[in-house]
Every structure is written in C-alpha cells, then in structure tokens.
Amino acid sequence: MKTSIEIPVGPQHPALHEPLMLKVRVDGEHVENVQVITGYNHRGIEKLGESKSFLQAMYVFGRVCGICNIVHQLTYVQVLEKIGNIEVPPRARYLRSLVSELERIHSHLLVLAVEAEIMGFQSLFMLIMRDREPVMKLKEIVTGQRVVADFMWPGGVKRDIDDQKIQTIKKTLDLLKVRMKKYKQVFSEDSTVLNRLKGVGIIKKNEAVQYGLVGPTARGSGVKTDIRKDEPYAAFGEIPFNLITYSEGDSWARMLVRIDEIFESINIIEYLLDHLPTGPIAPKFIKRRYPEGEAISRSEAPRGELLYHMISKGGDKPYRVKVRTPSFPNILNGSRIAFRDVVLADVPVIFGSFDPCISCMERIIVVNQNGDERIINIRELRK
C-alpha cells in the first residue's frame, strides 16, 4: 500500500528574507515533491518604502536583509543616482566595492559553516565561524558596524579609511587565505562532505536558465552570469577578476563556487587597496528631492542578482520601489527542480546549498495522514 506523508519543515529560518516553510511530501524515504509556504517574513517593505522619504527609505531598504545589507543599500542609492543624475567620486566607488566584497566573504563563510552544520560536521561549522569573526571585525573597522552598516549616501559613502586600516585589512586577509586553502581541501577531499554533497540536488544548465536562477546557484550549473561582469557597477569595471563556474550543477558545485569566489574576493580587495584613488568620498550636499523618472539598478549580492526598480514622480517620496531579491527565484524556483530522486535526509542539504541559511531550522513536524503531529529533530532526520 502506498502512503505518502507530508512533512512541514520550518518556518524557523534565521537568515532568510522570508523565513518559510517547506511541505515535503514523502513516500517512505523518497521525496515526491516539495512545496514552499511563504509569508512569515513579509514585512510589507515595498509599501512601507512608499510612505517614507527618499533618505528615510534608504534605511528601510538597508534592512531588507541583514546579511546583504550593504549591497541592498548600494543598489538603492544607485537607483537614486540614476534618477537624480549624481556622479560618484572614484574613491567612493572603490570603497563601495571594498565593503561589498567584505560582505561577500562573510556571507559565503556563513553559508559554508551552516552547510557543514546541516551535514552533521559540527567541528567544521565551529572552525569556519571562528575564521569568520576577523572578517566581521574588518567590516566593523571599515563601516563602523558589524552587521547592518548604513554605509552609503546617494553620491558617496559615509566613512573613509586610512593607511592603518588598510594594513589591518591586508594582514587579516592574508591569514584568511591560508585558512581558506585548508577549507577548500576539506570540501574537495573529505569523504563526509563528498558523500553528502556530490550528485545531490542536480540542476541542469538549461533548467537554471528556464527557471531564472541567479548567483552561485546558477554558476554552479555552468551559467555564466555575474552582474559585476555583465553590468559593472561601483568600481568593478576597472578590476580584473575571474568569473567562477562549475558544470556539475549539484550541491557540491554550488559550495565550491562560493569557496573559489572567496579567493577572488580577497584578490579584488587587495587590488582595490593597492589602487585606491584619492579625493572626496561624498558630495558636499546630500540631495533630498529627486526629479521625475524611472530607473532600474542591478548588482551582484552574495546570493546573486539583486534588482531595484524605482519610479519617482518628483517630490521627496518614491512612487514605487520594486525589490527582487536573489533568494526569491533561487528558493521558490530552485525548490521546484532540485528535489528530484532524493531522500528526505537530503532535503536540508540541498536547501542549504541555495544559501538560505537554515542554521536554526531545527524543528520538523511530521504530520501523517490522520493529521497527528509529532515533533522530530532535524538532527534525528539526518542519521
């Protein structure tokens, strides 16, 4: 007799734009389909932005996501700069690239750690989290805050760096490079990692295109997409760096893309610090009112393409701001295609490889067909 059981996973997600719930329908151990329930983190930001002034909204949109707050705020001020025709001084553009790369390093380290924890590799989780702390410290040195930085102005940035800070950044990143080589070795040779990740949750290249996946998730399937290359913003048009793609399309490839990108980010930061131009970092006056206009700005967040679409009707408030976060297609569309021929224990691993950060997605309720509920732990599931 065939019975299928529905297992809701979540909605406790710490690091997701919408902490969401997965309804996994299983037959025995085999996953039949995965349904995503959204809305737990819907804060009505797009509507809220319409009731704030342009500068107030900058702080709201900087808090769409705490992990990628810098790139959110950067994309928002880029839209304003396009509508208001504001020039950004070169030093400010370089500093913007610098902080967004620092953010990429800490975000990628976080997902590597979380994926290790989901795999049951606790010591790797703790080690990577320990090595992530110096990067957070660097972010604090440069921006003044560990996490939510509020670093941007329309037309510039808020804080400058000096030689002492440059030396600290270089020294810390040299140490991180050594540690990252070790982690790359672990992720490409360790049998625990390979058994859990290799060949799990495969997304083919043409599916990644059809379903519009972005960022490391798409690059892991061999799609050559990176907004830093495609539509250079900040200082990325002037920096040499490599676009990293893997052709396997499985969870392992998605993690390896992130590891290689950390090396690229470290190189980018070293290049930025060596070629930092002199000059002002912000305009003398910050514009508060913007003319009528419509603009789209895109940037490469740690999780992929981030898109802001703003319509201004003049005055001091935006008429409409549309935010398309990278996790939106990656999670909602990725869940449609990645969970084929997998067993229940693979679901958290695949989901983690999309970088939604499910470190605290600890509780799972099993509902059988009579509607009885029982709580099981995610750690029991992976045994």
Window 102-121: residues binding another protein (CB under 8 A): 110
Restricted to residues 184-213, the positions that interact with another protein (CB under 8 A) are: 205-206, 209-213
Nearer to another protein (CB atom), residue 114 or residue 273: 114
Query: Minimum distance from CB of 33 to another protein (Å)?
Result: 13
Nearer to another protein (CB atom), residue 111 or residue 193: 111
> Does the footprint of another protein cover residue 14 (CB under 8 A)?
yes
Query: Minimum distance from CB of 146 to another protein (Å)?
Result: 6
What is the torsional sign of CA 185, 189, 192, 196? Answer: positive
Nearer to another protein (CB atom), residue 60 or residue 86: 60
- Picking from 228, 313, 265, 8, the residue whose alpha carbon sits closest to that of residue 139 is 265
Number of residues that bind another protein (CB under 8 A): 74
Among 5, 40, 90, 184, binds another protein (CB under 8 A): 40
DSSP 8-state secondary structure symbol assigned to residue 345? T
Locus of tokens 């941007």 = 152
Locus of tokens 């690091």 = 15
Restricted to residues 288-327, the positions that interact with another protein (CB under 8 A) are: 296, 298, 305, 307, 309, 311, 320, 322, 324
CA distance linking residue 323 with residue 260, whole number of Å: 28
- Which two structure tokens, joined as six digits, stand for 143? 């921006």
Give CA 187 to chain center in angstroms: 20
Nearer to another protein (CB atom), residue 159 or residue 363: 363
Nearer to another protein (CB atom), residue 162 or residue 372: 372
Nearer to another protein (CB atom), residue 171 or residue 322: 322
Restricted to residues 353-382, the positions that interact with another protein (CB under 8 A) are: 357, 359-360, 362-363, 375, 377-379
Nearer to another protein (CB atom), residue 25 or residue 63: 63
Query: Minimum distance from CB of 60 to another protein (Å)?
Result: 5
DSSP 8-state secondary structure symbol assigned to residue 276? P
Among 225, 251, 312, 353, binds another protein (CB under 8 A): 225
Restricted to residues 18-37, the positions that interact with another protein (CB under 8 A) are: 18-19
Query: Minimum distance from CB of 152 to another protein (Å)?
Result: 16
Parallel, antiparallel or unpaired: strands 30-37 and 318-324: unpaired
Restricted to residues 48-107, the positions that interact with another protein (CB under 8 A) are: 48, 51, 59-60, 63-67, 69
Nearer to another protein (CB atom), residue 213 or residue 281: 213
**R_g of the chain, CA atoms, integer Å:** 21
CA distance linking residue 84 with residue 295, whole number of Å: 10
Backbone angles phi, psi at 48, to 5 degrees: -60, -40
Alpha helices (H) in the chain, listed in sequence order: 45-50, 54-61, 69-84, 90-119, 122-143, 163-189, 191-197, 205-210, 215-219, 227-230, 251-274, 327-332, 334-337, 346-353, 378-381
> Which amino acid, 203?
I
Restricted to residues 234-293, the positions that interact with another protein (CB under 8 A) are: none
The DSSP-derived string for 116-129 is HHHHT-HHHHHHHH
Restricted to residues 131-150, the positions that interact with another protein (CB under 8 A) are: 132-133, 136, 146-148
